[in-house]
Structure 1
Amino acid sequence: MLEINIADTEFKEIFSDIKNRYLSTANFPKFIIGTGLSIVMGVPGMGKLADELDKNFSSDKNVEYKKYWGECQSMVRNHGLEAALLTISNTKNDFVEKIREITGKFILESDYAVRENILKNSSGFEKLLNYLHKTVSVNKKIIDIMTPNYDLIIETIADKLNLTTTLGFKGNLFQKFDSELLRDPYKYYKKSTAILRIFKPHGSINWINRAGITYQTNDYCYLDKNSNCIEIIAPGSMKFQYGMTHNLLREHREIFNSVITDNESSHAIFIYGYGFNDKQFDTVFENTSKDVIVLTMDIKEEVINRAVCNKNWTLFYKNVIGKTHNTTNLSFMVYKGKQYKIDKNLWDLEEFVELFIGKL
Structure 2
Amino acid sequence: MNLNDVAKIIQEYLADSPLVVLGSGASVPYGLPTMRGLADVLRKDALLQAEENSAKLFSDMDLIDLEKAIDNNTLSDKAKKRIRTLTWKCINEKDLKLFKDKNLEEKMQPLVKLIKKIITTSPNQLTIVTTNYDRLSEYAVDLYRATTVTGFEGNLFRKFDGFSEHVNSKRIAARERVVKILKVHGSLDWFKTENEDIVSFPLQKQIPSGYTPLIVPPGKEKYSTTHDEPYRSIIEEADKEFKKAGSFLCIGYGFNDSHIQPKLISQIKNAGKPIVVITKEATAECMRLVADSNVKKYLILEDNGSETRVISNKGKAIVSGNVWSLNEFMEVW
TM-score range, shorter chain: 0.7 to 0.9
CA contact (8 A) 2:248 2:275 kept: yes
Alignment of 1:5 onto 2:9: no
| SS of the residue 1:50 aligns to | helix
The one of 122, 128, 138 equivalent to 1:136 is 122
What corresponds to 1:18 in structure 2? Answer: 10
What corresponds to 2:185 in structure 1? Answer: 202
- Cα deviation for residue 258 of structure 1 reads 1.5
Alignment of 1:158 onto 2:135: no
In the alignment, the residues of structure 1 paired with residue 49 and residue 38 of structure 2 have an alpha-carbon distance, to the nearest angstrom, of 20
1:341-356 alignment, distance < 5 Å: 341-356=318-333
| SS of the residue 2:291 aligns to | helix
- Cα deviation for residue 260 of structure 1 reads 0.4
CA contact (8 A) 1:108 1:224 kept: no
User: Would the alpha carbon gap of residues 171 and 5 (structure 1) be closer, same or farther in structure 2, given more than 3 Å must change?
Assistant: closer
CA contact (8 A) 1:104 1:228 kept: no
CA contact (8 A) 1:203 1:232 kept: yes
Q: Which runs of 5+ in 1 are unaligned?
A: 174-188, 319-325
In the alignment, the residues of structure 1 paired with residue 134 and residue 175 of structure 2 have an alpha-carbon distance, to the nearest angstrom, of 29
User: What number of residue pairs does the alignment pair up?
Assistant: 309
What corresponds to 2:264 in structure 1? Answer: 285
The TM-score normalised by the length of structure 1 is 0.78
In the alignment, the residues of structure 2 paired with residue 238 and residue 282 of structure 1 have an alpha-carbon distance, to the nearest angstrom, of 18
User: Would the alpha carbon gap of residues 215 and 355 (structure 1) be closer, same or farther in structure 2, given more than 3 Å must change?
Assistant: same
- Cα deviation for residue 281 of structure 1 reads 1.9
- For 1:335-356, what per-residue CA distance to the aligned partner results, in whole angstroms no more than 9, with x for missing partners? 2252222223221111111222
The one of 316, 334, 352 equivalent to 2:301 is 316
- For 1:88-135, what per-residue CA distance to the aligned partner results, in whole angstroms no more than 9, with x for missing partners? 34x743322211111112211111011133235343222212222332
1:97-116 alignment, distance < 5 Å: 97-116=81-100
In the alignment, the residues of structure 2 paired with residue 124 and residue 250 of structure 1 have an alpha-carbon distance, to the nearest angstrom, of 30
- Cα deviation for residue 19 of structure 1 reads 0.9
What corresponds to 1:259 in structure 2? Answer: 241
What corresponds to 1:84 in structure 2? Answer: 69
In the alignment, the residues of structure 1 paired with residue 216 and residue 53 of structure 2 have an alpha-carbon distance, to the nearest angstrom, of 19
CA contact (8 A) 2:276 2:299 kept: yes
Q: Which amino acid aligns with 1:109?
A: E
What corresponds to 1:181 in structure 2? Answer: none
In the alignment, the residues of structure 1 paired with residue 64 and residue 259 of structure 2 have an alpha-carbon distance, to the nearest angstrom, of 22
Q: Which amino acid aligns with 1:40?
A: P
The one of 41, 51, 54 equivalent to 1:69 is 54
Q: Which amino acid aligns with 2:24?
A: T
In the alignment, the residues of structure 1 paired with residue 238 and residue 146 of structure 2 have an alpha-carbon distance, to the nearest angstrom, of 20
The one of 110, 125, 128 equivalent to 1:145 is 128
- Cα deviation for residue 209 of structure 1 reads 1.0
Taking only aligned residues, the RMSD between alpha carbons, in angstroms, comes to 2.6
- Cα deviation for residue 331 of structure 1 reads 2.5
Q: Which runs of 5+ in 2 are unaligned?
A: 157-171
In the alignment, the residues of structure 2 paired with residue 253 and residue 290 of structure 1 have an alpha-carbon distance, to the nearest angstrom, of 20
CA contact (8 A) 2:256 2:285 kept: no
